[in-house]
A and B are shown apart, each in its own frame.
Chain A
Amino acid sequence: MAQTYGQQGQQTQSQEYTLPGVLHFLQSEWRRYERDRNEWEIERAEMKARIALLEGERRGIENMKTDLMRRVKMLEYASKYVAEKSHSNNTVSPPGIATTEVTSSTNVNGIPITGLKQTSRPVSAQYTNIQLTRDQKTRAKSQQLLKNCLQEIEYLTNVATTGISPIPNRSDTVNLNDSAQAFSQQANRSSTIYLGPDPHGTLSHNRNDSREQIRPSRPAPSAPSTIVPPKSSSPPLEQVSTSRKHVNEYEDNWFNATEDRKGKNKAETAKSNDEDEDDYNEEQSTPISSSPFSPSIDETSDTVSTIRGNKDGSNRVGKKEGGYLERGADNEEIVTMYAQKSFNRWREAFGNKISATKKPSRKSAEEEKMEEEQLKKDVQAKFNLSNEKLDKVIRTTRRMNSHDFIEQTSDPQLGELSNAWQDVDDEQGNQAETDQEHVNGVDNKLWKTRATLRSHLDSVRSLSWHRYEPLFVSGSDDGTVKLWDLNETLSPKQYDIKPILTYRGHTLPVTSVVLSTEQSTCYSASMDATIRVWKIPATRELYAPVDPSLNLTAYIGHTDVIWDLRLFPIHDQNSQLLASAAADGTVKIWDTEEVGSPLKSTWNYYGIGHADGLNGGGRPPVPTSIDFVHTDLKKIAVSFQNSIIKIFDIETGQPVVTFKSDKTYDGTASTQINRIICHPTMPQVFSAHEDKYIRGFDINSGDTIFSMSAHLDSVTSLDIDPSGMILISGGHDASIRLWDILSGQTCVQEFMSHRRKSDEGVLCLQYHPTLPWLASGGADSVVKIYN
């Protein structure tokens, strides 16, 4: 019964269908499917891109893993060996012999003998003194060194008899292969480790005893060579000759570098380098002086010396030394990693100088410590070793030593030398960076300045990308909003990039801009307390007739400077929320699709419905930044001048969670939060503080995830890479730093970007949501594009 009834119902229904109606229905269905299909396609493409990214990342991590394994093996062997050696060796050799050995070895190493003897004499005298005051253990070690030295001499004399002249000979370089090049890079770099105290010459012997314990052997193969197994297959002649080649190349490098320095002209070096170096030169045309670098150098060498000095845990010493050995190993990547680090360190030192702060580069020290710790851990975790690897290590170490030695004796003007090396080091650091790029593929790519856009007349405070197109708007202290179209892809002629449109309407500086892709509009907030809405024209040509219709409307409601604007992440047909935070103490939510009265709600620090000063007396704290919580779209995060972050419910306007983000708040604006950003996929919010901190909070629990002093000056801007892996920050120290979110506080890259004006540096940063681009705006009125 029920069935027939249903059938009847169907029949009557179907009778009501008309042909056009059905057609219409089918058409609309078809259209819907098509649209869905398109969306799926897009999604698929996105996923593919994501997969590629992750794959690349995996590869990178695997590479790193194998490196670490290798490192572990080498360290393990090295530490064992050192332990054995230190126990087995008891005899003491007279220091006189040592010195003669030293001189002879230098001779074979291809250095003019006359000069050498002179320099080695004072060293030997001191050496005896120190030797006398040393305990048994040290003697044993020195003994070991001397033995190795003798071995080395034997090899070298062998080589000499086979007809290779002791004078550096260019023809030797004919056989140069990749590994040799890699090595020479490495050697240059290793020089920085030891360079620090050199300017003090032999004085350092008295000054730094812990160094002394191993250092006296510096003219000969030094500390790391204790690991040379006495019965290991004697190094083939070829190896020794390569080491000499390196010497030559090294010296050549050095000469180049000094020449360049003298001429204050890096043209030559730049030629041999990639464009990165060019950029770099462009940015910092100031000639490199020795002063900014010396602090960080000293620091490095200090760590070296303490490591060396610590004899009690011989195991540990072995490990550490292994660490340096490892750097000497063939592995390009590690080398590059290190190069990058020293490069960064240098930059940091430079930055220090600029900002005239006298703090040592703390960051680099931290990095170093971190790496060491990791190293230790790894060593403890894993053991196994192949002899080939070890051989390699030993070889490279020996090469390293010979370089070390030359560095010590060959040139009297060590101060200048260190500079020259620094140049070489930088240079190769750059090269290494690109190498790394090639090796590691997509995930570890480094951002490089692609274009510098000049058109604003004052500090650029804000910028916002179009979601799909290479199009963005920028707002500046000059009161204008400019629309930039980079579609004509960035040509080498960077000068020609002009904004396609300048929106004029604000009567005071513009503080914040957002671009709504779906609405084809852009919103700008200004110190004049208004939000203006601009249309993005469909046709874009330079010097088009002025079109007043582009100026859509203005939202008036705030009574003081509006400092931040954010757009609701999702746009639907009927509503597009816009949030604003202003110095009048309020946060306002606007619905931009509402034509008549866009203002939806207003609340202050205490939530909706609390009049000023009700709760605490006096004006409530001023909001500084806002962001919609991407993982819970009913909520919005607001940071205040008192360094507190609160999560508000958008509908009710009441605070839901309050974070303990004010740990360093001291009651003044110099510790306030400048900007917050919510993670696109995880329930996390990150805050940039005026007192250099970046903090991360879990939105659900309210816990602090991390808190780090991230810049040399206030942190002003934050953004998160669309994949959610990288947090990028910009600060008044004019640098931009990239942080790995997963590992928390690892700095992936750092570069100086803008020049300072009015004690301000970088003011805004944003990743392109879909293209591999990054833009930053600074107090120097310039917008820079990176990719």
Chain B
Amino acid sequence: MKNSEPDPNSTAEDVIPATVIEEKPVLKAVGLAKRYGKNVVAVNNVDITAYRGEVLGIVGESGSGKSTILRMLNLEEQPDTGSYELDGIYAGDLFKLDRSEQRAIRVFHIGIVYQNPHIGLRMNNTSSGNVAERLIVAGVRNYSQLRQAAETSFRASEFPLDRMDDPPLALSGGMQQRVQLAKAIALNPKLLLLDEPTTGLDVSVQALVLDTLRRVQRDIGTTMIVVSHDLGVIRMLADRVMVMRHGRVVEQGLADQVLEDPQHAYTQQLVHAKL
């Protein structure tokens, strides 16, 4: 459709009327809400949609509910209300599935990179074991196949192969994030969740990891959701941005648009604080 130029010889009947192709979103979460105890409202009625190959950035200050959303999207946490669908995986609300079905979806279709590698990795196991874990849980019972898959993943996340059997404890912060990334993309997930992936890394390593993230996203064409309070990260990775405050979405739109011309007062404050 994009490349079709009007043919001067065509008659009116030949011209296909211009229509908007409505693609189904890969991820569709509606009305997410979560409160802790009586007073803490972590997430308040948030809708999220993301399309195939899209990178959605979620920005906001600490305590704005970004991480809670990510935990819910990773099916680690049940919301109080809301529904969650992943297109082509299961027709229906994922929150209504039981524990083991949710686990299967998490293992096969969702990859996650945490800010703190201690949460995402077994620090004393080998790095390759951390990547293999995902495949083992998915049912692979062949040792050489596990080794190969681990190597492939490490290559994709630009991790030096000669260190793949070192425990993450012995690796630098940037490399630990690469191990997490290798683990997250091991089964070509439909959805990749990144929770502050480069926070705590120094600027040069941050740039390298972001570079890898961008390349991986391009190569496997997965839908990606990046949570960060760092607008630089969002600017570099995200196509679309959601700005959150106090558990609500205050503004959303194309990344360039929102970051260049913020409409909401809070977003303006955020952008200016960054500049």
Asked if chains A and B come from one complex, the reply is: no
Residues of B participating in the A interface, judged by any CB pair closer than 8 Å: none
Residues of A participating in the B interface, judged by any CB pair closer than 8 Å: none
